[in-house]
Amino acid sequence: IRILIFRILNHLNNLLAHLTPSGTPPILIPFIVIIESISLIIRPLTLAIRLTANIIAGHLLLTLLGSSGINISNLSTLIILIFTQILLLILEIAVSLIQAYVFSILSTLYRRET
């Protein structure tokens, strides 16, 4: 958002030219500028919400499995639960690496586009 504000303050003409595709009818230009401006503002927010939702989902799954082991008295069921939780932890680490990669790629693409 800081980069977007910098571009608006210092390079308004270039930003407005970027927001309207060539060949746009003059009557549609104000509407397209508004829609593209909203899109530029919402992109970082959707990226942050997506990352937060993925992190919360993994933590919630691990917490639910961990709290269900309190009432288990059978040793074999407890071992299976612990093994499942370890596998989910490994999956959570893999998902976090993928999320970091996607976040960095999309952030770079969004930054180049503004």
Between helix 12-19 and helix 2-10 the angle, nearest 10°, is: 110
Say if CB 62 and CB 88 are below 8 A apart.
Answer: yes
Helices (H) and strands (E) in the chain, counts: 4, 0
Q: What is the pLDDT of residues 60-77, one digit of tens each?
A: 888 887 777 677 778 888
**Could you tell me the residue range of the domain that residue 37 belongs to?**
1-113
The pLDDT of residue 26: 82
pLDDT exceeds 70 at position 32? yes
Instruction: Tell me how many domains the chain contains.
Output: 1
The pLDDT of residue 12: 65
| Both tokens assigned to 96 | 């976090």
pLDDT average, residue stretch 6-34: 76
Stated pTM of the model:
0.64
Q: pLDDT above 70 covers what percent of the chain?
A: 86
| Main-chain phi, psi angles of 6, to 5 degrees | -60, -45
Q: What is the pLDDT of residues 71-108, one digit of tens each?
A: 777 888 888 888 988 998 898 899 889 988 998 898 88
Cα dist. 96→23, 49, 57, 91 in Å? 43, 15, 11, 9
